[in-house]
Structure 1
Amino acid sequence: MPLNMTQGVTDISQQVFDLHMTIFYICVVIGIIVFGVMFWAIIHHRQSRGAVAASFHESTKVEILWTLIPFVILIVMAIPATKTLLAMEDTTKPDLTVLITGSQWKWHYSYFDQDVEYFSLLATSPAQIANEREKRDNYLLEVDRPLILPIGQKVRFLITSQDVIHSWWVPAFAVKKDANPGFINEAWTRIEEPGIYRGQCAELCGKDHGFMPIVVIAKTQVDYEEWLQTTKVAQQQAREEEQRLLDMQLPMDELMALGEKTYQTRCAVCHQQAGQGIPGAFPALAGQGLSVDKSKKLEHISIVVHGKAGTAMQAFGPQLSLKEIAAVITYERNAWGNDTGDTVQAAEVQAVLNGENL
């Protein structure tokens, strides 16, 4: 593990590194001088050599000197520091703007003027976390959908939060900004080389703070444009598919298979893999748990879609597709001994999203 600060891959990160090293060397010189004088005085004015302590007080020259020297040193340090800080905060004239929204425990990326947005979640499996499977090289630093950015362009980040304070931190870019609910902070970067750059939430945002990684893939302009167009087409097709689902009745086995996958990636972190929950924090869903009886089917859908005020239960309506919501609720209502036997269809989820049947 390197002992020094990350040097980074952008011009700003290099400026930050250079500033760090400049301040470090100044501190080293100060330390050598101060400790050198101290040890010289200890050795040459020790009692065994017959040294007698002088008795004096109030020296105007000394007081001016020990005030003036630190002042000059601070000015020397402040000039490059100010230049670097001003450069870090200059988010004007961006080529691309991305809105980054943190929530427990995921990131949402929205590209301005591009009609592209998606959530980015931890891709490390629960089995790896539970030591039931061998850990991969990028354990806890891998996501299902990374942030894709073009190289050679100034990218402005608008950073906020839906719930608690998070912090979007990518060391290679020298970007670390808090995501505060109700506020928008700004940062920027310009990546010069294609590559994969990793970071994570740097704020203690809850019990799964360590499960909120960031992955940025920098592509050439041609590759970025290709990805952008492909993503736009895919998201448009997904919207069209959702409309077709409204007239379909999906079978139980298909819903259960997708529901289990969705539950393990989105819900198990709080409600646990077997639906047992965490007493006092997250309710159990197993064994006729929260809202799974037939008379509360609509309530169950509403809680998943809209969340529950005053709790950590998020609104998954904006996060999951109609099919995924229908599947995960079907799974919760028929797994771990609940066995209600009923399915939830996309049309029922859409009705709750529209405020109907409640």
Structure 2
Amino acid sequence: MKAGRIKQWAAGLTALALPVLAFAQQHAGDPTSPHPWQLNMRRGVTQISHNAYDAHMIALWICVGIGILVFGAMAIAMFKFRKSRGAVPDVDFTHSTKLEVLWTVIPIVLLVAMAFPATHKLINNYDVRNSEMTVKVTGYQWMWKYDYLGEGVSMTSRLKREDDDLRQSGRVPTLEADPHYLLQVDNELVVPIDTKIRFVITADDVIHAWWVPSLGWKQDAIPGLINEAWARIEQPGIYRGQCAELCGKDHAFMPIVVRALPKAEYQQWLAAQKAQPAAAPAPASPAGVNPTAPAANAEPATAAAPNSDATTAPVAG
């Protein structure tokens, strides 16, 4: 019995310590990169992601406070007023109107206090006014197509050939050999930092979802419908994501890689893409790609992006 109680106390203390561990873990190392045994969500590299993280932490600590009060009261009641200590049930107890009002009003006040800033931030997530550039994202089975509207640059982005070969080879991948297994693409989406980027998102066949956790949002890509979102990336880097809507047998093999560059480097990259001749459609589609997809989604000719092993190619606009 004593050993059982010790285990129960240990489990309770561990549960109470999880928020503290999550908070400490978030601030150790790179806050934008996932790592093994990560407990907390990442803070991200956009204002939207910061808003989501802050709202999450506020709600988490409120829940921790409520948990301490509720389980603390339960512990006091169970141990201080247990039968072995001679406690006798009060059969004449009647409900306290003041207590009933108190524990009804307090949760309402907490919910309203959290709802107002959350609603304001949620509305801000969809405010695409004053955008400085627009990228059209189209989902296909099973790849993405990016169009830099007004620039005459387009590209398809699908799972990198080496990862595709590895997954079909039967070999067991290791973290050391391939730290970004199934999260690498042939053509990265290259964007500038400190720029409000408007994303218009749709699909050509079935419902997909474009999701890069470090940007702080995900958006459904629905055939015949255009959804909007925006991002202003604060620091250069590579940010990875995946399709977040079950879209078919190769749903797990639709990674997303966003490379954020300083503005000057981005302009150099964009000029290089415009200077290249239009790419001719490839004669064959890779494994897992719908052979009936439009010719615009065929494998493009490639050219190296700056500071990257990824490749991109323009399509005449």
Flag whether TM exceeds 0.5 (same fold).
Answer: yes
The reply to whether residue 218 of structure 1 matches residue 260 of structure 2 is yes
| Contact 1:195 1:218 (8 Å CA) reproduced | yes
Q: For 1:197, what is the secondary structure of its paired residue? A: strand
Shift of 1:86: 2.3
Q: Is 2:139 aligned against 1:102? A: yes
Q: Which residue of 1 aligns with 2:88?
A: 52
Letter of the 1:193 counterpart = Q
Letter of the structure 2 residue corresponding to residue 29 of structure 1: G
Query: Cα distance 1:322–1:185, how it changes in 2: closer, same or farther (>3 A)?
Result: closer
Greater length-normalized contact order (CA 8 Å, ≥ 6 residues apart): 2
Q: 1:124 to 1:52 in 2, by over 3 A?
A: farther
- Measure the CA separation in 2 of the matches of 1:322 and 1:79: 48
Note if contact 2:52-2:216 (Cα within 8 Å) is conserved in structure 1. Answer: yes
Out of 176, 185, 192, the position equivalent to 2:218 is 176
- Which residue of structure 2 lines up, in the alignment, with residue 300 of structure 1? none
| CA distance in 1: counterparts of 2:298 and 2:114, whole angstroms | 50
Q: Deviations over 1:119-149 (max 9, x none)?
A: 1111043331124566522211011111110
Question: Quick one: distance in 2 between partners of 1:221 and 1:41?
Answer: 62
For the pair 1:120 / 2:139, whether they are aligned, the reply is: no
Following superposition, the deviation at residue 33 of structure 1 comes to: 0.5
Amino acid at match of 1:184: I
Change in CA separation of 1:201 and 1:117 when aligned onto 2, cut-off 3 Å: same
TM-score scaled by structure 1?
0.67
* Aligned partner of residue 75 in structure 1, secondary structure: helix
Aligned match for 2:295, one of 317, 322, 329: 317
Distance 1:7 1:223 in 2: 25
Which stretch shifts more, 190-199 or 56-65? 56-65
Matches within 5 A, 1:199-238: 199-234=241-276, 237-238=277-278
- The structure in which a higher percent of residues are helix is 1
1:287 alignment partner in structure 2: none
* RMSD over aligned Cα atoms: 2.3
3-state SS of 1:69 partner: helix
Match of residue 118, structure 2, among 71, 77, 81: 81
Shift of 1:38: 0.9
Cα distance in structure 2, aligned partners of 1:190 and 1:47: 62
Instruction: Give the CA deviation at 1:205.
Output: 1.2
Asked if the contact 1:141–1:200 (Cα under 8 Å) also holds between the matched residues in 2, the reply is: yes
User: Aligned in 2, Cα 1:321/1:88: closer, same or farther, shift over 3 Å?
Assistant: closer
Contact 1:124 1:142 survives alignment (8 Å):
no
Aligned partners of 1:321, 1:188: CA distance in 2, in Å? Answer: 28
**Residue 58 of structure 1, CA deviation:** 5.0
Q: Which of 120, 127, 130 in structure 2 is aligned with 1:90? A: 127
Q: CA deviation at 1:76?
A: 2.1
What does residue range 60-75 of structure 1 map to in structure 2 within 5 Å? Answer: 60-75=97-112
Deviations 1:306-339 (A, max 9, x none): xxxxxx653332222799xxxxxxxxxxxxxxxx
Aligned length: 259
Tell me, in whole angstroms, the C-alpha distance in 2 between the residues paired with 1:116 and 1:151: 19
